[in-house]
Amino acid sequence: MDSHTTPLARRDIASVLHPYTNLRRHESQGPLVITRGDGIRVWDEAGREYIEALAGLWCVSLGFSEPRLVDAAARQMAKLPFYHSFAHKSHDVAIDLADRLLKLLPVPMSKVFFNNSGSEANDTAVKMVWYYRNALGQHRKKKILSRVRGYHGVTVATASLTGLPDNHRDFDLPIANVRHADCPHFYRYGKPGESEEAFASRLAESLEAQILREDPDTVAAFIAEPVQGAGGVIVPPRTYFEKIQAVLRKYDVLLIADEVICGFGRTGKMFGTETFGLEPDIMTMAKALSSGYAPISATVVNEKLYQAFLSESDRIGVFAHGYTYSNHPVPAAVALETLKIYEERRIVDHVNDVAADFQARLRSFRDHPFVGEVRGVGLIGAIELVRDRDSRAPFDRGLGVGAVIARAAQARGLIVRALGDTIAFCPPLVITRDEVREVFDRFGAALADSADEIARIAAAA
């Protein structure tokens, strides 16, 4: 039965507006309707099994059937289903979660602000940067530098930070005071004969030149993912963050570490900040904070920012920012239990135990005739498809080669994410070695299934 002919699919087409979807195509193609999950696997309405090799949307770190998280939500629902933190109110579970987070972070931080999504966490960070600069009387120092192919969310502010054209087109974005710096993708932007270290130096020099062009008195902050996720799983070149941070310190530019995808073990450390030696002023996190089981995110600031917030809120009379669901007790309880599981089950150690197999199997595809680059760290990785390996020439974007592979993978019972012509892998952190082999066996079969179609596309191009 075609997916769009089932009753659930027809109801979906009739009523649901889908994010990140070709809406016209959806009317004829319809959805894959998932109804159950267990471990790293999910099942559709017809009972067919799939390995979820992107952990949903980079988030279901503990798999789809962790009973302790379900129990934590149910207990909190029964005890205190809602409360807020406005006007000097609080509750025990948010206090416990904030305290535990601060002790877990790899750099000294002062206070935690809870939001509902990664987009909101970064949107809050933008507002905090502007509030901080105003508190210091630096009223011109408001520009925020992001990076080409960075991804930071879809609110008006964070979609502006996101350095992907489709997030701007016809949404009238980006807004003022957002600029984009170079993308640190060595494979795509390194010069012939240039080393990773030399490429990193060139990007740091370019960043400094950009700050000088803008005027350092107008540049407030720089936001970066340790590994650029939705932009193509771009791992920074060696020495990149060391050199970038030296430029930021020179011109008093705050660093925001967007840990929404990298946080909580994904890169082989608890945070990508540790993996790549970041010293941020603000950290944002979401997704694996609750293993995706409940919507919650956090924006964490250091003492320097908090002291400025103290004086400014006292001057104005209030720190006038917050959401109805900030500090919501149910997601907070789920997140608190998630952090306990990470510690008790030594999830980061487990990631390091299986990451070598994951990265080795990922890199086993590097010699395929249409694979340009294979990249990754820990339990995140990507395979970039190209029309010509020697010249690194990409396929025309409109040909949808990545989507061809993703559909073939789905037909083989494997869900991956096509980011243009880059195939992303980000499985639940609880994946085993045997399951890693199964992921890449299925992907290899999908690649073989697609070989003739890709060859035809390449020949026609």
One domain, residues 308 and 401 = no
CA distances from 150 to 144, 162, 178, 309, 448 (A): 13, 5, 13, 28, 31
* Residue 50 belongs to a domain: yes
Residues across the chain: 461
Q: Do residues 336 and 355 share a domain?
A: no
- The neighbouring-strand residues paired with 299 are 113, 284
The CATH number covering residue 417 comes to 3.90.1150.10
- Considering the domain boundaries, does residue 93 fall inside one? yes
On whether both 277 and 406 belong to a single domain, the answer is: no
Judge if 112 and 139 occupy the same domain.
yes
Which domain-ending residue is among 324, 344, 364?
Answer: 344
The tally of domains found in the chain comes to 2
Sequence-distant (6+) residues with CB within 8 A of 104 are: 270, 339
Is the distance from CB of 321 to CB of 124 less than 8 angstroms? yes
Is the domain of 126 the same as that of 249?
A: yes
pLDDT per residue as tens, the chain (461 positions): 455 579 999 999 999 999 999 999 999 999 999 999 999 999 999 999 999 999 999 999 999 999 999 999 999 999 999 999 999 999 999 999 999 999 999 999 999 999 999 999 999 999 999 999 999 999 999 999 999 999 999 999 999 999 999 999 999 999 999 999 999 999 999 999 999 999 999 999 999 999 999 999 999 999 999 999 999 999 999 999 999 999 999 999 999 999 999 999 999 999 999 999 999 999 999 999 999 999 999 999 999 999 999 999 999 999 999 999 999 999 999 999 999 999 999 999 999 999 999 999 999 999 999 999 999 999 999 999 999 999 999 999 889 999 999 999 999 999 999 999 999 999 999 999 999 999 999 999 999 999 999 988 888 86
Residue 318, domain extent: 68-344
For residues 157 and 224, membership in a common domain is answered with yes
pTM: 0.96
324 and 352 assigned to the same domain: no
321/357 same-domain check:
no
Q: 338 and 355, same structural domain?
A: no
**Is 27 inside any structural domain?**
no
206 plus 325 within the same structural domain: yes
Does some domain include residue 389? yes
Give a yes or no: residue 22 inside a domain: no
In the block, which residue shows the tokens 């008790």? 344
Give the domain-ending residue among 317, 344, 371. 344
Domain CATH number, residue 280: 3.40.640.10
Instruction: Tell whether 426 and 363 lie within a shared domain.
Output: yes
* Contacts for 121 with CB less than 8 Å, ≥ 6 apart: 115, 153, 260, 284, 285, 286, 297, 298, 299
Does residue 434 belong to any structural domain of this protein?
yes
Claim to verify: residue 254 and residue 277 sit in the same structural domain? yes
In a domain, 393, yes or no: yes
Question: What is the rounded CA–CA span in Å between residue 327 and residue 120?
Answer: 13
